[in-house]
Each structure stands twice: as structure tokens, then as C-alpha cells.
């Protein structure tokens, strides 16, 4: 479609300011490949630089060292270049402690292979651990869960006695460990003496050099069956006396994923003298192969180093395509260790040299270049040397001209910082990265959120692929592929992945597009991974941001109707702003605002609080300020958020003690969290307030958290996201609105920064940034010139910046008037345009419970959204079995464009003769304009649970309410989720596959609903004594539990049966257990865990013929939780097999009571006749015969009374019948 940029700019003021997508002088298919972009191999002489490395011993004091951010740099340093190679300023150990989750091993920029030690931490390496399990091929920098780590390879000495790398690991010390870009070395403490292990890498191979002690058993273990995520299949094959191949299938990242396979080929520089394999715990010398499913599996090769040749070199290539791909990668990139090391070092020196800063404080230089280094570690090459790659359809795709395929995208993180940094420094690779993401969307059927290798992990929420790709489009990186990219973006924005797709995608799009927000439904779950409806408030804000960005792309491509739709949806953040609390807040499916009103403790925000998420409206910061009460009110919030007054006096203390300081401290905070992404951009929000100096103060305070020690990054580095934030903030330019070309300005940390640009992309060679004289006491911007011309605003477009070529910042010791004019604000991408009219009504609880003859009040809310004041009516009707009235028949709400809440009550009542069951109450709300909303409330008129008197544990609760505790650790079953699956408390239910029925108790929320068994004796009510079978309905905690269940019978006998119930969260119920209900999530205090838990029923227990059940005694095991006992009772007690007559008569002036009992049954019976004057047992009364006795009262008169006859058959229970007699006087 032809795009008329002038017309589109007129429609979109943002496009008019920033321009459409950057026009580029190069196109895919005709691009120049920059030398060194991917250096596979170079000769040892290609880089005449000292091969120094960052030695670990010097790190010992680093964790407590103060950052040099506030050290003076001064104008005298501006002209001084950094001394020595830049790779010597990189410390790969930064971030290897306190959950930074980086790795110290060897890689080249964006390489497929990251060869690094694994020492027992879930992501590979932790600085506090002291043994190495192996050196594996894949590590992603700063991820939060275990993944990668295939083929951990370890040199050892001596006999092979263990096949578990946790057992055969070798010790090491940091005093004998060092690392630099592309290189790692460690001394391993082996039985025969020290082994020196060295690692380096090319793009697709890992190269190892092991220096053994003199021994006849110098081994290398290649472990195919263990990794950092789950290995489901592995094959290993010794090809010849130098070569080993493997095929490894893995799955999982935080939760389960689809499987993916890698192939490896390892060659050694000399023949091994022996070899073997292992499978499980069995080691087989001389074996050439082993294969199978899950389990330990691998190969070992042995060298003899007693002849003086102590070194063994190995090169391992990998491929996602196949064994032939691994072999081709090896053939193309293999080289000697020293040559590959030189090439890797050269590649890193070239990359780091793209940003030259002035000589300054050494800590600042080391932290800066270490952050720059980590920014170049991902995404990673996914294609083989011949260009083939395995796509997300799991098919092998042929090479495309001038295209390298990439994979591994932590999009929820990197769309905010790293994408923009790589655009500046690696535009050609960035273009391929963007197109690779488009290919993943096309081939996989949907765009990912967090892609690893060839699969989607579904980790994190929202729609991060959209701002990532819109940024790339805006930057011109998708030239020639704009419509392809737009097609996958549009499908992603408007739909939901089909049920058979492994993608979660925008799982809440149905609700979001209908209602304008993602409901917070923590009990709902989807495919493995994170699920938007469990984080409704933050997902709404993320969707809105993505929609706003997509609207600019749609406008730029001429899709104006789409642009209008997406721009309107970009205002959806307003739909989760609660005017009653003046904060963002989650809403449920009824439209209610839910959860704690305190924004530090609100529900529905993913890895953050409402306080931290309140700034995630970069598309419309002016509109956000309006919600907050204006710019002054927003400034007050920002100042409190950053503890600004304290920060000015002591920035390092506030950053480390007042702000959030733990990697996983997501909730309960009111201050800035520099450790996680949702508020990463928040320091730059001051640019909209006219107080840009505060951005500088906050950024410099945050920079003190980056130090030259193992704990020197903030939070998980998330594939370079945090590192890119540090780099961009240090040079004074930052992408303030992801998906646009807007860059915020702040005072650089360094006097002088020179960025080398690709002239074919940017039209010039360099971008030069200066801040002459910047120092701790002189860091406030006084004025800025762009390309030699004054600039009076604190933002520029990327095209303005690179076209100008220079940005000069004059600094001083006090804030100035620079960029304080309101006109200097960056403005809004999608300013508010009109008000959406919406109406909601609902009740809490969603499924009220009534007892026959009872009454209850239900909270009802009307939520109205429109311009100004809304008013209307609420009509309540019922199906007649219950009555319903309301005090909210008429309502008025002050909306002013926001969702305004009006609260009232619906009173429900059930007559005493109401039948237990579900009944419908209908709520209809109408506003003055005729808009109508309807909600049907299902009311339970509950039956009784006959075991309710023994309840002593609360096992069923409500999401986020922490009002139950089944397992003693705060976890519990979720009421709404059970009800959605048919297990409604108070209703008669049936054990699946049987005719046994039961009722789950329906007590008030927070009160006991099950018995933690401890030998309780439960009396069986009369109407259930006809049961011929029973089953215990419940669950166990902390494993399978149970014991002897004692059945008591009316004849005084009993029977003990062994019953057991499965663990409530097991994936494999005990044999004989029947799954009653299995929910996909459970409550855990205030949280919801995506762990499937449920209720089970024991196999039906038969009650012996003729026996009448009168009691049940539970086992003595409090981990055995009984929620109900199901029976097949008909409610009809068998008719007695006797007819009884009784009469008072006179004989000789005395009164007698005569009793006759006729046996009407088919068996002989023992019949006992009992009166107040005596009893008689008549045995073996034949069918049709009578038992008779006349009892003397020894009195002349008798009052009216009653006799009792007990009949017992040989194989039956005693049955009793009573009969009355009249009074008699015999005088």
C-alpha cells in the first residue's frame, strides 16, 4: 500500500513531530556486511594486544566497594583516551552473585555458543559456590530460571565411578580463576592433581583446552543427560578415536515448554586411548553409544598424559538443525585454542570500541564497559554456517540472502532498553534480529513473549513483541518487510492463539477488546507459562502501551482505520485507574475494582506494585498527569517514589537502602525498584514535569548500584536489559517511549563519549557527546546544543541526534532553567480523544450461599464510565425460589471518563421449604442513555453436610484473600475455581463413575470446611443408613496419607478398611483413587500459584449385606483431609419383617400387657418382646409364625404405653418396631 507521509502526519501529530519510519540507504539483499560482525576465526597474529584477563582474586573486596559514579572526572580528563585495550576493562564476574544470574564463560558477540562453567546454580554459575560440574554450551545472561546448559563437559582424572555431575564435580577457588571477554580459565582440583581448564568460543563452537597432570587416566566427560533444564531424550555416540556426537532434547523454562533438540559434534586434537559410555548409574567401558529418554547418560574419553604432552584441546560445535549442521559448523569454525581466543578477543575489542569514553574513574570505566559487554551477548545466532535454521514450525528453513537468523528474546525486558542500544551500535544485526522475530511469528503462528531456541516459553505477560517490532520499524530496520511485520502484529493484537497452539499470546484479548481492560482472575490459568488474567491490571497497561505503539505503525503504513482503533485502545490504561483511591487497581470480570486499596499491596500487577506500575504510561504521560491531579501532583508522587529529598543528600544510601534492594522483592514497596523492568524508565518521567535535573539526580543515584563486583548489577540482567539501561544512562541518552524514536536527555557520566556509527545506516561515522567538566558537584545541565545549535528541550528524535552528530551539554553545580518550559515536554503519542461509555454490574460473592429459611446480604456494585455524571437504575429479579431486593434501585456516579463505582446491597432470602440447588438472580443496570448491562448471579440454596460438626480445618478459600490453610503452610484450594469445575459447595454432587452422592460443606468463608482426621467418630444420620457403599471424598497434604476407616454397624459389630487419599497436588493419583476435581491453580496466602491441585475419592467400600451403617471412625492422620463422605443411600430404611400388636387386658382383677409379633419375612428370626413390665426373647420364629407373651403388671390398672419388638435374622441387622397400647382399669 502506498503511504502518503504528509497525510498521515496530519492525522497523527506524533508522526508529524517524529517523522515516519527512518528511510535507510540500504536494503536486505544488498547490504554491506561489516568486517568482524561475526568473527569465527582469525590468526594468532591478527591482534597484537596483551591477552590479559580479569582475575577473580581481585573481586574479593569488590562487593563492598563504593561505585565511582560520584568520583571527579573533570575537564582535564576529557581529552585523555582510555588506557589499554577495552577488553581489559570488562569484568565478566559482575552479576554472578545475588541473582544477577550472569555467567563468566566465553562467548563472542551474539554467538550461538556461550561456553561457561556450571557449579550447581539453577542458571549455571553462582559466585558463592566452589565446585564445577562441567562447562556447557548455552547460557543466557541474567535469566530468572534455569535453561540451557546442554552437554556439560568436565576434565577429570582416575576411574569413572559416578555418572551424576553433582557428585563428580571438581572443586576450585577464585584465587585460581580468571575471565575476560571470550576467555575463561580455572584450576580444577582433581584426584591426580590440578587440571587447568581454559575456554574460548566462536559463534557456533566452544573451544576447550585442558592441561592435565601426568596421568594415564586423563578423562573428559561429555554429559548428554543433564542440563540446566529438563532433558527428555539424549543420545551419545563415539564416532572414532577423536570424535563424539550427541543429540539432546530439552524442555522447560520456569514452567514447561514444548521440546526442542540440539545436536553437537566434538573433536579432540589427538586420539584418545580409551572410551566408554554411561546410562543411568551403569558405566560401560568400550561402549560406543548410549541412548534413551530421561536419565543420566553420556560418554567419556581417556588420554594418557604421562609422556609429557599434558594438553588436550577439544572443539564442540552445535546446531539446532541437525547432526550435519553441527558437523558443518565445526568444519567452518574450528581452530586452535590460541587462534580462536585471539579472534574472540579481537571481536570484542571491535564491539567495545564502538563507544569510546574519556579516561576517568577506573570503577566507572570497568562497570561501564562491563555493562556494554553484557549488552552484546544476546539475541543469539540461530542459523548454521550455511544459513539454514530450524524455525518455530520445527521445520528446517533454507538460507535467505544476506540474512542471519537470531533467537533468544527476553522481550518483556529488552524492548525497553537493549533493542534501542543495539540499533545504535549494531544496526545490521538489529535488522536481522527484528526480521527473525517476524519469521518466528509467521512460522510459529503467533508472536512470542519470551522465546528460547525454537520454542515459546510464555514467560512474562502483556504484549512486548509489539513495541519491540514497532521500534524496529520506526528505526527503518524492517525496510522491505513492513507489511509482513504489520500482518503478524495485527493478528497478535486482535486475536487469541487457538487452543492447539503452545502460545498464550494476548490470552485476555476477548475480555480486553469487549470491556476495555484485562480482568484480574488469579484462579484462571492457561497454557504453561505466565497468564495475563492472573495479572489483570498490569496486563491492561501493557496491552494499552502496545496498542498505542501499533497505532503509529498502522498510521505510517496507511492503515488508518486500524490506527484509529489502536490509538483508542492505547487509552485503556484509564480503565484500571480507580478514582476512589487515585491509583491504578485491578478489576474483576464483573468490572469491580478488587484487592487491597493500598497501592503497595494491590493485586494484579506482575512482578511489581501499583506504585511502580503507575509510570508505565509512556504513550500518554500528560494524560497520566491529569489522572493524578496535574503536573504538581505528579511531581509530588515522583519525589516520594524516589525519596528525592533524601536522595539529594545521600544518593548511594537511598539507592541501596530506601529503594527496593532485592532481586525478587516485587511486592509491598512504595519506592522505586531499580532491579526490575516495570519502572525502569521512571527516572525519565521528570522530563515531562519541567524538572529535568531530577532525572539527572535519580539516574546518578541508580548508577551507584552498578559496581565492579560479583553483585554489581541490579536484579536479573535479563539478556542485557539492565546493562543497556546503565550504558544509555551513562552516555546521557535514553529511549523514553519504547516503540518511538524519542530519546530523553540527561547529563552524561563522562566528559566525552564518541559513538562509532555505521555510515551506510546513519549517514555519518560518529556521534559525539560531551559534558565538559562534569563532576559530582557539577552535574546539572545548564544548556544543550545539538549539532552546534541551542536545544531547549530534554528530548530529541533519533534522527535528529544522529543527523546532528554532536550533542554538547554545559554543566553546573545547581539546577538551571533549561528545558523547564511546558512546551519542552515530550508530549503524548496517543493523547486522549473522546470518552468511552461503559457500564458494569455484579455481586460479591459471585455464588452466594443460602440455607433454607435463611437470608443473606450480597454486595452489589455498579461501575459506570462516561463523560461527566452518569445515572440510572438497577432492577433485580429472581427465579421465584429465592427472593431478592436491593437498596440501589436508583444510582448516580461521577465518572468524568473514569470507571466510577456505586455500591449497594442485594438482600437474598430462601423460604424454609426451599429445595437445595442453584437458583438465578438477575441484575439489570441501565443508564439514562439506555446503555444496559446484565449479570446473572447463581445462588446456592445449600444442603447440609452430615459431617460438618467435625470440621476443624479451612481448606477452601478465595484468591488473594489468604482465608484458608489446607497444608499448614498457607496453601489452599480456590473456591471459584472448584465451582467453575462443578464442585460447588452446598450442592449434592456425584463421585465420577459411581452413583455415590455427597455434599461439600458450605460454611462462611474462612471457617472450617473439612476434617483433618484424628480418629473422629461420625454418627451416620438415619436417612443415610440404607447405604450399601461409601467413599471418602477429600485429599491429603505432604504426600499420600490415610489408614484404617472403621465402619460401625447397628448390631454392635464393626469393620476396618484401609483407605488412602492422594496428595492434593500430585500429578499421579494413587491407584484406586477417583479424581473428583483437579484445578489448575491453588491459593498461597495472598498469591495464586499455577500448581494443579484437587480433591479425590477413595474406591467405593461395600457395606456387608444385612448390616446397617451407624458410624464411621476416621483414621488418625491429620494430613488426611475429609471434605465429605459419599454414599449410595436411598434415604429409605428397609421395612421391618414383623407385624406387632399390643393390648392391655384384665384377668382376675389384674392388668396384663399382651404382645404379639408375626414374622412376615422369608427367614426365621429371633424376636425379642419388650415392655415396661418385662421382656422375652423367642428364638427361631419361623416365617408366618408368631412370638407371643402376656406380661403381668401386678396392678389393678395400667396406663397407656408402648412396647418394643426387636427382630434379628441370621444375616441381617437388628430391626426395631414399636406399638402402643391403651390404658386399662380392672377393678
Q: pLDDT tens digits for 3-24?
A: 333 334 434 445 555 555 654 4
Average pLDDT over residues 139-154: 95
Q: pLDDT tens digits for 942-959?
A: 988 999 999 999 999 998
- Cα Rg of the chain, angstroms: 38
837 pLDDT band, cuts 50/70/90, is: confident
Q: pLDDT tens digits for 322-338?
A: 999 999 999 999 999 99
Distance CA 750, CA 766 (A): 17
pLDDT number for residue 19: 54
199: pLDDT strictly greater than 90: yes
Distance CA 1097, CA 225 (A): 38
Determine contact, residues 10/16, Cβ cutoff 8 Å. Answer: yes
pLDDT number for residue 106: 99
The DSSP secondary structure of 797-822, one letter per residue, reads EHHHHHHH-EEEEEEESS--STT-SG
CA separation, residue 949 to residues 957, 1018, 1026 (Å): 19, 9, 21
Helix, strand, or coil here: 574?
helix
Average pLDDT over residues 216-241: 97
Q: pLDDT tens digits for 726-743?
A: 999 999 999 999 999 999
pLDDT number for residue 80: 59
Average pLDDT over residues 37-45: 33
pLDDT number for residue 1051: 80
Residue 960 CB partners (closer than 8 Å, separation 6+): 522, 594, 595, 603, 1083, 1086, 1087, 1088
CA separation, residue 370 to residues 55, 67, 181 (Å): 14, 14, 9
Percent of the chain clearing pLDDT 90 (strictly above): 83
Distance CA 1052, CA 1109 (A): 10
Average pLDDT over residues 640-664: 96
From the list 609, 616, 617, the residue with the least C-alpha distance to 585 is 609
CA separation, residue 406 to residues 112, 345, 381, 388 (Å): 9, 22, 4, 11
Distance CA 466, CA 489 (A): 6
pLDDT number for residue 1109: 94
pLDDT number for residue 25: 36
Determine contact, residues 111/407, Cβ cutoff 8 Å. Answer: no
Average pLDDT over residues 754-782: 97
Sign of the CA dihedral with 712 first, then 717, 720, and 724 last: negative
Fold classification of 1138-1225 is Immunoglobulin-like (2.60.40)
From the list 1064, 1040, 911, the residue with the least C-alpha distance to 978 is 1064
Asked whether the bond before 379 is cis by omega within 30 degrees of 0, the reply is yes
Instruction: Give the strand pairing for 230-240 and 289-292.
Output: antiparallel
pLDDT number for residue 79: 43
81 pLDDT band, cuts 50/70/90, is: low
Could you tell me how far CA 883 lies from the centroid of its own chain?
A: 43
Determine contact, residues 687/379, Cβ cutoff 8 Å. Answer: no
Percent of the chain clearing pLDDT 70 (strictly above): 93
Site of grid cell 446473572: 936
Indicate if 1138-1225 has the same CATH topology as 44-62+83-355: no
The DSSP secondary structure of 1132-1184, one letter per residue, reads -PPPPSEEEEEEEEEETTEEEEEEEEEE-SSS-EEEEEEETTEEEEEEEEPTT
pLDDT number for residue 1: 35
Q: pLDDT tens digits for 565-617?
A: 999 999 999 999 999 999 999 999 999 999 899 999 998 999 999 999 999 99
Distance CA 164, CA 1038 (A): 28
**Cell digits for 116?**
561457561
Q: What is the pTM of this model?
A: 0.85
Instruction: Give the strand pairing for 766-770 and 752-756.
Output: antiparallel
Domain spanning 5-18+384-824, CATH class = mainly alpha
CA separation, residue 1132 to residues 83, 550, 1022, 1216 (Å): 97, 68, 9, 15
Average pLDDT over residues 870-876: 95
Instruction: Give the strand pairing for 297-303 and 193-201.
Output: unpaired
SS3 letters for 1076-1101?
A: EEEECCEEECCEEECCCEEEEECCCE
**Cell digits for 747?**
547529563
**Cell digits for 1060?**
488412602
From the list 566, 570, 569, 596, the residue with the least C-alpha distance to 584 is 596
b/e burial code for range 293-318 (CB count within 10 A of at least 16 → b): eebbbbbbbbbebeeeebebbbbbbb
Please compute, for residue 311, the number of CA atoms within 13 A of its CA located in the half-sphere on the CB side. Answer: 9
Average pLDDT over residues 1077-1103: 91
Determine contact, residues 327/388, Cβ cutoff 8 Å. Answer: no
In the structure, how many helices (H) and strands (E) does the chain have? 24, 71
Q: pLDDT tens digits for 257-275?
A: 999 999 999 999 999 999 9
Neighbours of 1212 (CB within 10 A): 19
1033: pLDDT strictly greater than 70: yes
Determine contact, residues 111/381, Cβ cutoff 8 Å. Answer: yes
Asked whether the bond before 114 is cis by omega within 30 degrees of 0, the reply is no
**Cell digits for 475?**
528505526
From the list 214, 157, 164, 163, the residue with the least C-alpha distance to 189 is 157
238: left (phi over 0), alpha (psi -120 to 50) or beta: beta
Q: pLDDT tens digits for 268-326?
A: 999 999 999 999 999 999 999 999 999 999 999 999 999 999 999 999 999 999 999 99
**Among 208-212, 453-457, 542-546, 977-981, which is the least confidently predicted range?**
977-981
DSSP classification of residue 175: G
Mean pLDDT of all residues belonging to the chain: 91
Give 44-62+83-355's CATH code, choosing from 3.20.20.140, 3.40.50.2300, 2.60.40.10, 2.70.98.10: 2.70.98.10
Distance CA 454, CA 518 (A): 29
pLDDT number for residue 418: 98
pLDDT number for residue 52: 36
1016 pLDDT band, cuts 50/70/90, is: very high
pLDDT number for residue 1134: 60
Average pLDDT over residues 346-356: 98
Helix, strand, or coil here: 1116?
strand
Domain spanning 840-941, CATH class = mainly beta
The DSSP secondary structure of 707-742, one letter per residue, reads -SSTT-SSS--TTTHHHHHHHHHHHTEEESSTTS-E
1132 pLDDT band, cuts 50/70/90, is: low
46: pLDDT strictly greater than 50: no
Determine contact, residues 110/787, Cβ cutoff 8 Å. Answer: no
427 pLDDT band, cuts 50/70/90, is: very high
Phi, psi dihedral angles at 1029 (to 5 degrees)? -145, 155
pLDDT number for residue 1050: 85
Domain locations in the chain? 5-18+384-824, 44-62+83-355, 840-941, 948-1127, 1138-1225
Q: What are the E-state strand segments in 495-595?
A: 577-578, 583-584
**Among 156-165, 826-835, 906-915, 1075-1084, which is the least confidently predicted range?**
826-835
Average pLDDT over residues 24-40: 36
Phi, psi dihedral angles at 605 (to 5 degrees)? -120, 125
833 pLDDT band, cuts 50/70/90, is: confident
From the list 136, 260, 257, the residue with the least C-alpha distance to 208 is 136
The 3-state DSSP composition of the chain as helix, strand, coil percent (nearest 5) reads 25, 30, 45
Average pLDDT over residues 107-124: 96
pLDDT number for residue 21: 63
pLDDT number for residue 78: 40
**Cell digits for 1057?**
478398611
Please compute, for residue 1178, the number of CA atoms within 13 A of its CA located in the half-sphere on the CB side. Answer: 20
1227: pLDDT strictly greater than 80: no
Determine contact, residues 973/964, Cβ cutoff 8 Å. Answer: yes
Average pLDDT over residues 126-142: 97
Amino acid at each position: 500500500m502506498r503511504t502518503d507521509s504528509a497525510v498521515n502526519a496530519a492525522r497523527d501529530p506524533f508522526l508529524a513531530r517524529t517523522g515516519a519510519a527512518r528511510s535507510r540507504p540500504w536494503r536486505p539483499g544488498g547490504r554491506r556486511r561489516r568486517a568482524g560482525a561475526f568473527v569465527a576465526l582469525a590468526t594468532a597474529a591478527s591482534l597484537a594486544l596483551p591477552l590479559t584477563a580479569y582475575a577473580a582474586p581481585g573481586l574479593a573486596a569488590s562487593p563492598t566497594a563504593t561505585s565511582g559514579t560520584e568520583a571527579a572526572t573533570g575537564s582535564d580528563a576529557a581529552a585523555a583516551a582510555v588506557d589499554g585495550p577495552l577488553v581489559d576493562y570488562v569484568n565478566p564476574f559482575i552479576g554472578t552473585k545475588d541473582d544477577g544470574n550472569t555467567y563468566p564463560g566465553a562467548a563472542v558477540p551474539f554467538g550461538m555458543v556461550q561456553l561457561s562453567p556450571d557449579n550447581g546454580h539453577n542458571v549455571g554459575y553462582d559466585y558463592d559456590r566452589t565446585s564445577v560440574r562441567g562447562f556447557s554450551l548455552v547460557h543466557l545472561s541474567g535469566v530468572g530460571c534455569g535453561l540451557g546448559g546442554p552437554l556439560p563437559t568436565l576434565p577429570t582424572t582416575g576411574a569413572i565411578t559416578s555418572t551424576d555431575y553433582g557428585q563428580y564435580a571438581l572443586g576450585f577457588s577464585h584465587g585460581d580463576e580468571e575471565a575476560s571477554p571470550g576467555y575463561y580459565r580455572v584450576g580444577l582440583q582433581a584426584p591426580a592433581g590440578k587440571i587447568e581448564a581454559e575456554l574460548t568460543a566462536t559463534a557456533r563452537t566452544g573451544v576447550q583446552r585442558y592441561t592435565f597432570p601426568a596421568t594415564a587416566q586423563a578423562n573428559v566427560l561429555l554429559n548428554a543427560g543433564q542440563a540446566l533444564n529438563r532433558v527428555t531424550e539424549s543420545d551419545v555416540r563415539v564416532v572414532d578415536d577423536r570424535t563424539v556426537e550427541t543429540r539432546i532434547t530439552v524442555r522447560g523454562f520456569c514452567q514447561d515448554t514444548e521440546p526442542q533438540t540440539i545436536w553437537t559434534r566434538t573433536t579432540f586434537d589427538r586420539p584418545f586411548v580409551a572410551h566408554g559410555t554411561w546410562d543411568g548409574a551403569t558405566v560401560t567401558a568400550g561402549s560406543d553409544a548410549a541412548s534413551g529418554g530421561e536419565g543420566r547418560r553420556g560418554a567419556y574419553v581417556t588420554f594418557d598424559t604421562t609422556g609429557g604432552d599434558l594438553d588436550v584441546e577439544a572443539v564442540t560445535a552445535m546446531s539446532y538443525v541437525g547432526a550435519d549442521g553441527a558437523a558443518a559448523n565445526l568444519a567452518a569454525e574450528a581452530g586452535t585454542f590460541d587462534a580462536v581466543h585471539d579472534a574472540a578477543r579481537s571481536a570484542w575489542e571491535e564491539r567495545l570500541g564502538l563507544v569510546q569514553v574519556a579516561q576517568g574513574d577506573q570503577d566507572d570505566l570497568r562497570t561501564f564497559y562491563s555493562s556494554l559487554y553484557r549488552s552484546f551477548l544476546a539475541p543469539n545466532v540461530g542459523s548454521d554456517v550455511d544459513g539454514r535454521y530450524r524455525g518455530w514450525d520445527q521445520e528446517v528453513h533454507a538460507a535467505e540472502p544476506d540474512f542471519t537468523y537470531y533467537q533468544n528474546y527476553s522481550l518483556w525486558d529488552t524492548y525497553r532498553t537493549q533493542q534501542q542500544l543495539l540499533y545504535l551500535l549494531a544496526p545490521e544485526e538489529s535488522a536481522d534480529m527484528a526480521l527473525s522475530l517476524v519469521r518466528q511469528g509467521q512460522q510459529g503462528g503467533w508472536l512470542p513473549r519470551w522465546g528460547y531456541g525454537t520454542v515459546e516459553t510464555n514467560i512474562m505477560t502483556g504484549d512486548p513483541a509489539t513495541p519491540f517490532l514497532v521500534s524496529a520499524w520506526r528505526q527503518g530496520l524492517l525496510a522491505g518487510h513492513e507489511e509482513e511485520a504489520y500482518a503478524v502484529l495485527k493478528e497478535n493484537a486482535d486475536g487469541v492463539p487457538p487452543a492447539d497452539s503452545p502460545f498464550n499470546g494476548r490470552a485476555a484479548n476477548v475480555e480486553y477488546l469487549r470491556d476495555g481492560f484485562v480482568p484480574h482472575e488469579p484462579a484462571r490459568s492457561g497454557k504453561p507459562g505466565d497468564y495475563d488474567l492472573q495479572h489483570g491490571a498490569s496486563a491492561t497497561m501493557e496491552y494499552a502501551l502496545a496498542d498505542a505503539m501499533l497505532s503509529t505503525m498502522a498510521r505510517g503504513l496507511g492503515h488508518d482505520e486500524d490506527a484509529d482503533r489502536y490509538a483508542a485502545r492505547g487509552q485503556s490504561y484509564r480503565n484500571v485507574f480507580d478514582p476512589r483511591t487515585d491509583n491504578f487497581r485491578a478489576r474483576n470480570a464483573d468490572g469491580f475494582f478488587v484487592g487491597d486499596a493500598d497501592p503497595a499491596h494491590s493485586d494484579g500487577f506482575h512482578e511489581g506494585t501499583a506504585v511502580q506500575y503507575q509510570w508505565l504510561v509512556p504513550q500518554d504521560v500528560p494524560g497520566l498527569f491529569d489522572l493524578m491531579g496535574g503536573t504538581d501532583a505528579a511531581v509530588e508522587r515522583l519525589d516520594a517514589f524516589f525519596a528525592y529529598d533524601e536522595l539529594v543528600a545521600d544518593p548511594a544510601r537511598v539507592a541501596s537502602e530506601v529503594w527496593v534492594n532485592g532481586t525478587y522483592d516485587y511486592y509491598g514497596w512504595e519506592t522505586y525498584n531499580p532491579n526490575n523492568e516495570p519502572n525502569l524508565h521512571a527516572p525519565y518521567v521528570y522530563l515531562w514535569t519541567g524538572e529535568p535535573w531530577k532525572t539527572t539526580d535519580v539516574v546518578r543515584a541508580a548508577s551507584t548500584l552498578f559496581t565492579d563486583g560479583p553483585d554489581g548489577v541490579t536484579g536479573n540482567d535479563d539478556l542485557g536489559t539492565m546493562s543497556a539501561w546503565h550504558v544509555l544512562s551513562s552516555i546521557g541518552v535514553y529511549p523514553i517511549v519504547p516503540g518511538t524514536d524519542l530519546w530523553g536527555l540527561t547529563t552524561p557520566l563522562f566528559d566525552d563519549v564518541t559513538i562509532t556509527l555505521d555510515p551506510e545506516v546513519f549517514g555519518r561515522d560518529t556521534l559525539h557527546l560531551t559534558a565538559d567538566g562534569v563532576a559530582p558537584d557539577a552535574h546539572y545541565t545548564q544548556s544543550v546544543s545539538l549539532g552546534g545549535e541551542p536545544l531547549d528541550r530534554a528530548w530529541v528524535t533519533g534522527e535528529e541526534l544522529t543527523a546532528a552528530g554532536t550533542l554538547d551539554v554545559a554543566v553546573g553545580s545547581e539546577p538551571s532553567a533549561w528545558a523547564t518550559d511546558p512546551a519542552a515536554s515530550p508530549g503524548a503519542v496517543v493523547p486522549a480523544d473522546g470518552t468511552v461509555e461503559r457500564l458494569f454490574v455484579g455481586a460479591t460473592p459471585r455464588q452466594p450461599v443460602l440455607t433454607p429459611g435463611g437470608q443473606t446480604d450480597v454486595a452489589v456494585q455498579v461501575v459506570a464510565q462516561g463523560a461527566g455524571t452518569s445515572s440510572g437504575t438497577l432492577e433485580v429479579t429472581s427465579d421465584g425460589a429465592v427472593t431478592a431486593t436491593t437498596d440501589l434501585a436508583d444510582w448516580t456516579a461521577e465518572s468524568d471518563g473514569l470507571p466510577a463505582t456505586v455500591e449497594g446491597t442485594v438482600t437474598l432470602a430462601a423460604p424454609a421449604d426451599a429445595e437445595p440447588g442453584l437458583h438465578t438472580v438477575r441484575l439489570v443496570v441501565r443508564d439514562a442513555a439506555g446503555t444496559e448491562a446484565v449479570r446473572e448471579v447463581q445462588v446456592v440454596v445449600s444442603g447440609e453436610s452430615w459431617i460438618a460438626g467435625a470440621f476443624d480445618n479451612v481448606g477452601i478459600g478465595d484468591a488473594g484473600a489468604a482465608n484458608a490453610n489446607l497444608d499448614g503452610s498457607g496453601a489452599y484450594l480456590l473456591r471459584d475455581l472448584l465451582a467453575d469445575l462443578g464442585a460447588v459447595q452446598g450442592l449434592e454432587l456425584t463421585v465420577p463413575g459411581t452413583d455415590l452422592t455427597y455434599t461439600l460443606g458450605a460454611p462462611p468463608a474462612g471457617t472450617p470446611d473439612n476434617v483433618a482426621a484424628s480418629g473422629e467418630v461420625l454418627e451416620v444420620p438415619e436417612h443415610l443408613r440404607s447405604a450399601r457403599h461409601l467413599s471418602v471424598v477429600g485429599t491429603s497434604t505432604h504426600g499420600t496419607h490415610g489408614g484404617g476407616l472403621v465402619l460401625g454397624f447397628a448390631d454392635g459389630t464393626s469393620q476396618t478398611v484401609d483407605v488412602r487419599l492422594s496428595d492434593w497436588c500430585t500429578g499421579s493419583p494413587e491407584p484406586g483413587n477417583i479424581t473428583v476435581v483437579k484445578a489448575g491453580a491453588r491459593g498461597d496466602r495472598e498469591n495464586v500459584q499455577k500448581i494443579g491441585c484437587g480433591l479425590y475419592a477413595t474406591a467405593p467400600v461395600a457395606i456387608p449385606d444385612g448390616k446397617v451403617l451407624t458410624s464411621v471412625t476416621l483414621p488418625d492422620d491429620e494430613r488426611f483431609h475429609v471434605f465429605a463422605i459419599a454414599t449410595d443411600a436411598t434415604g429409605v430404611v428397609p421395612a421391618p419383617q414383623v407385624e406387632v400388636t399390643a393390648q392391655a387386658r384384665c384377668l382376675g382383677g389384674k392388668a396384663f400387657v399382651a404382645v404379639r409379633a408375626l414374622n412376615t419375612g422369608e427367614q426365621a428370626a429371633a424376636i425379642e418382646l419388650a415392655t415396661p413390665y418385662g421382656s422375652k426373647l423367642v428364638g427361631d420364629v419361623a416365617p408366618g409364625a408368631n412370638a407371643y407373651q402376656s406380661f403381668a403388671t401386678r396392678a389393678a390398672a395400667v396406663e397407656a404405653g408402648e412396647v418394643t419388638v426387636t427382630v434379628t435374622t441370621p444375616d441381617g441387622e437388628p430391626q426395631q418396631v414399636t406399638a402402643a397400647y391403651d390404658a386399662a382399669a380392672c377393678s
